[in-house]
Structures are given as C-alpha cells and as structure tokens.
C-alpha cells in the first residue's frame, strides 16, 4: 500500500493527464455529512466486507478517514483481498482541510 499526502492527492486530482483515483471515504455517516472531498464514494468501514464487490480491483483507490488510521486498515484489508492499487491518505480528511481546502469543516 502506498501513502499519499493531502497535497500530493490534490496534485493528482488536478492532473488531467493522469487517471483520477477512486476516493473511498470510510468514515461514519455523520463524519461524511460534516465534510468530504467532492466526488468521493462513501462506504463506512464496517460496510466494506459486504460491499467489496462494488469496488474495482484494478482501479487506483485512495482510502480516506479522519486521520488515516481506519483508512489504512481498510486499504490493507482490500490489498489482502486482491486489490493491487491501494493508497492511504496520510492525515486523512483533517490534513486535507488544513493543507488543501481551508473552507472545509473540521471536527
């Protein structure tokens, strides 16, 4: 699994020459409702095993949570289940709010 900073992810998303990754937000409903990155797919961590078939094994997937711990667990789980392009957002949505989008709500 790769790690990516908020600034590196912002650069990746802005790069039209590079295919965009799937942004998989694994936080709870209330967290996602508080703030999220536009275009992200919301699947709370506890739903991942039941919804694994909804994900593309061949796609680059960036896992996102509040600070990066839950998303790292999900990325590791998906890697163990055949997903080869897993990336964890280091610092999570909190780092994104601090470094990329200062208008985003923080909690």
2-99 has which CATH code?
3.40.250.10
**For 17-67, what is each residue's pLDDT tens digit?**
999 999 999 999 999 999 999 999 999 999 999 999 999 999 999 999 999
Spell out the domain ranges in the chain: 2-99
Interior angle at CA 103, CA 92 and CA 64, nearest 5: 15
Q: Considering the entire predicted model, what is its pTM?
A: 0.96
Q: Is 72 exposed, middle or buried (0-12, 13-18, 19+ CB in 10 A)?
A: buried
pLDDT in the model for residue 5: 98
User: Where in the sequence numbering do the catalytic residues fall?
Assistant: 65
Q: Give backbone dihedrals phi and psi of 76, rounded to 5 degrees, phi first.
A: -65, -40
pLDDT in the model for residue 10: 98
Q: What are the tokens at 48?
A: 């991942």
């Amino acid at each position: 699994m790769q790690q990516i900073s908020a600034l590196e992810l912002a650069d990746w998303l802005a790069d039209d020459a590079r295919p965009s990754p799937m942004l998989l937000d694994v936080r709870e409903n209330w967290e996602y409702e508080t703030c999220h990155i536009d275009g992200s797919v919301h699947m709370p961590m506890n739903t991942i095993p039941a919804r694994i078939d909804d994900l593309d094994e061949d796609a680059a997937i960036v896992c996102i949570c509040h600070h990066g711990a839950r998303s790292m667990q999900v990325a590791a789980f998906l890697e163990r289940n055949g997903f080869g392009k897993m990336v964890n957002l280091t610092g999570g949505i909190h780092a994104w709010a601090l470094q990329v989008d200062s208008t985003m709500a923080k909690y």
